[in-house]
Amino acid sequence: MSVVTNLVAEYIPTTNFKFVSFDTIKKNVDEYLLFDVIGHVVEKGHIKEITTKGEKSKLLDVILQDLEKNTIKCTLWEAFAEQIDAYVTNADQNGPTVVILQCFSAKTYCGSTTLSNVRHGSQLLIKPNLKEVLDYRLALSEEVYVPSVSQLSSQLSLPRSYDPL
């Protein structure tokens, strides 16, 4: 016989992040690991359409900065590219655009480490109302923050065999 009991789950967290620093990712790139990071957008490119393995894909490169002023390039694909592009383009820059990237992969190409979302496995949270983001913004506000996102100046060049997904 089974017994069902109501349980108050107020102490079970609804989010669980294991943030990794940008420096740690750059020093220990492992394409088989997925990382959680928090940072704010400081540069944004334009959405580009490329063809990989015969399929068209949208991508957007952004540069994220952390509280230690370290930066890392992040290539967002498909819906994530559209979401961050729309948000940053239309945001009334009331403070930094803080993002949480959950379960992102890291790859090294031409000596540069890039984070990228994985198909059906990553999560992009843009300025969510979470304690981690509020703490981040508070720590960032103690520094001098210039609330703007600049345009990426470099051109994207991927080899034909590059497959981010």
Question: How much is the mean pLDDT over the chain?
Answer: 84
Q: How confident is the model at residue 157 (pLDDT cuts 50, 70, 90)?
A: very low
Query: Is the model more confident about 63 or about 28?
Result: 63
- Give the pLDDT mean for 9-16: 66
Query: Is the model more confident about 148 or about 62?
Result: 62
- Give the pLDDT mean for 89-95: 73
Give the CATH fold of the 22-151 domain.
OB fold (Dihydrolipoamide Acetyltransferase, E2P) (2.40.50)
Helix (H, G, I), strand (E, B) or coil at 83: helix
Most confident of 46-50, 108-112, 149-153: 46-50
| Dihedrals phi, psi of 153, to nearest 5 degrees | -100, -20
- Give the pLDDT mean for 77-102: 88
- Other beta carbons less than 10 A from residue 157's beta carbon: 8
Q: How confident is the model at residue 160 (pLDDT cuts 50, 70, 90)?
A: very low
Residues 108 and 116 sit within 8 Å (Cβ to Cβ): no
Domains of the chain, residue spans: 22-151
DSSP state of 162: -
What pLDDT is attached to residue 152?
Answer: 62
What pLDDT is attached to residue 16?
Answer: 84
pTM of the full predicted structure?
0.78
H or E element, residue 136: helix 131-141
The 10s digit of each residue's pLDDT in 101-111 is 999 999 988 88
